[in-house]
Amino acid sequence: MEENLTIFGRFAVSMFAGIMIGLQREYASDNPDQEIAAGVRTFALLALLGSASGFATEVLDSAWPLIAIISVVGLFFTVNFYLQSLHGNKGLTTEVTGVLTLLVGALIFWQHIVLGVALSVVITLLLALKIELHRFAQHISRENIYAALKFALISAVVLPILPNQTYGPDPFNIFNPFKIWLLVVFISGISFVGYVLIKIIGARQGIGLTGLLGGLASSTAATLMFTQKSKVNSALSNYFALAIISAWTVMFFRVIIEVGVVSVNLVNALWLPILLACLSGLIYVFYLYKNSQKDGEEQDVEFSNPFELGPAIKFGFIFVIILFVSKAAQVYSGDTGIYISSFIAGLADVDAIALSMAELFQSKSVESTTAARAIVLAAVANTLAKGGIVFFMGHRSLAKAVFPGFLIMATVALITVFLI
């Protein structure tokens, strides 16, 4: 009885996975009143058929039942595709989804329940994002594709063969080629998420949203872009300030994510000042939003592909240099040297100094308090550098709107990390 209940449970999970996929297919239909080839009932039945075929393969100890069922279902979908193509519909999405749903049912029956459910969620998500994915493809250039392919190829080939051990004379034996390149891939990946979101959602969906996404792709680029626009349209300075502070807030949040990937323990000493800095930034963003009277114009935004090989290698060199300088500062000047070098390095790049401090802490070269303070100093210095861009290159009204936000975020972060 217990075994039968287990089997019934697997069939039930398969059915609900099929229903979820089928509901999306019916929702995506251009004409709800028209009978579609495969809807919620069909996909539920396909998932159950997949589980039934999985059951048959176990009972008969043979893969032929599954092969036969897939072949029959594939034949049905082939005929349906042919008939649909006669009416001008040449898409294969429903047919491919049907076969995948059948396989999901089989996986769930074979007790790969998490994998089967995860696949059904991914399938439904990909189907639901049809318009956004098509828009993304239309906005991706040939150069973007080549850059991503080159970076992926070099990462896939180079990363596995890099030695995963430290090099250098004591006390500078801190250089691990594998970890260095892995962090390069990681940082580029975070930036690429923001880049993809901008491409999918669109760069003309509002100033504030662009600021948030720009903080993922490049907070410096977002700051520079909105600063330049303020010279042309100073009436929107409050909205530009909102976008800039949003990008800076996301930058602070990025730092704690990056550090957490390298060393979760360091996050314990870092999360409070970073979190309070983010909260203060969000509060000021809300203040700017409530006090802005004009509707924001839609803005064109251009960000370079973060998977370009040149910037990635440049980041790797910067990371190595900062790692060496930070270690030398700690050896010869103690914590004060680390703070000074972190502040100077943070003026150019906060990601590199955050990761280098996390790496030094992980190797037990610095204490958690010292590393956390150095990272916060770097983040404040980076924000100061972007504030300089606003002050010297932007309209006076933009600088006036941005300055309180910078002052609040920097003060909260420094007071928290040094006094608490």
pLDDT of the residue at 298: 46
Regarding predicted confidence, which is higher, 160 or 298? Answer: 160
Q: Taking the mean position of all CA atoms in its chain, how far away is CA 329?
A: 33
Give DSSP secondary structure letters for 265-288.
HHHHHHHHHHHHHHHHHHHHHHHH
User: Is pLDDT at 384 greater than 60 in this prediction?
Assistant: yes
Tell me what the mean pLDDT of segment 8-37 comes to. Answer: 76
Query: Domain residue spans in the chain?
Result: 2-128, 135-419
Instruction: Give Cβ neighbours of residue 212 (< 8 Å, ≥ 6 apart).
Output: 246, 247, 250
- Could you read off the pLDDT of 249-306 as tens digits, one per residue? 988 988 898 898 888 899 988 999 999 999 999 999 888 888 765 444 444 445 556 5
Backbone angles phi, psi at 167, to 5 degrees: -130, 160
Task: Kindly state the tokens that stand for 28.
Answer: 């995506």
Tell me what the mean pLDDT of segment 53-69 comes to. Answer: 88
What DSSP element (H or E) covers 334?
helix 309-346
The residue assigned the tokens 């290698």 is 313
Cβ atoms of 380 and 276 within 8 Å: the answer is: no
Can the peptide bond before residue 311 be classed as cis, meaning omega within 30 degrees of 0? no
Q: Could you give the count of Cα atoms lying within 13 Å of 205 in the half-sphere of its Cβ?
A: 13
pLDDT of the residue at 332: 72
What sign for the dihedral angle of Cα 35, 41, 43, 45?
negative
pTM for this prediction: 0.59
User: Is pLDDT at 174 greater than 90 in this prediction?
Assistant: no
- Could you read off the pLDDT of 360-381 as tens digits, one per residue? 888 888 898 999 999 999 999 8
Residues 286 and 272: their CA atoms lie apart, in Å, by 21
pLDDT of the residue at 295: 46
**Nearest to 36, CA basis, from 103, 99, 83, 105:** 83
**Nearest to 65, CA basis, from 52, 47, 77:** 52
Residues 245 and 226: their CA atoms lie apart, in Å, by 11
The residue assigned the tokens 């924001």 is 296
The partner residues of 167 in beta bridges, in order of sequence, read 175
Q: Taking the mean position of all CA atoms in its chain, how far away is CA 116?
A: 24
Residues 9 and 113: their CA atoms lie apart, in Å, by 11
Tell me what the mean pLDDT of segment 199-227 comes to. Answer: 69
User: Is pLDDT at 216 greater than 60 in this prediction?
Assistant: yes
Of 180-184, 270-274, 355-359, 414-418, the least confident: 180-184
pLDDT of the residue at 152: 73
- Burial annotation 42-54 (CB, 10 A radius, 16+ → b, else e): bbbbbbbbbbbbb
Amino acid at 95: E
Regarding predicted confidence, which is higher, 126 or 249? Answer: 249
Question: pLDDT band at 52, cuts 50/70/90?
Answer: very high
Residues 368 and 360: their CA atoms lie apart, in Å, by 10
pLDDT of the residue at 278: 92
Cβ atoms of 35 and 52 within 8 Å: the answer is: no
Between 264-291 and 237-262, two packed helices, what is the crossing angle to 10 degrees?
170
User: Is pLDDT at 316 greater than 50 in this prediction?
Assistant: yes
What DSSP element (H or E) covers 143?
helix 142-161
Instruction: Give Cβ neighbours of residue 172 (< 8 Å, ≥ 6 apart).
Output: 324, 327, 328
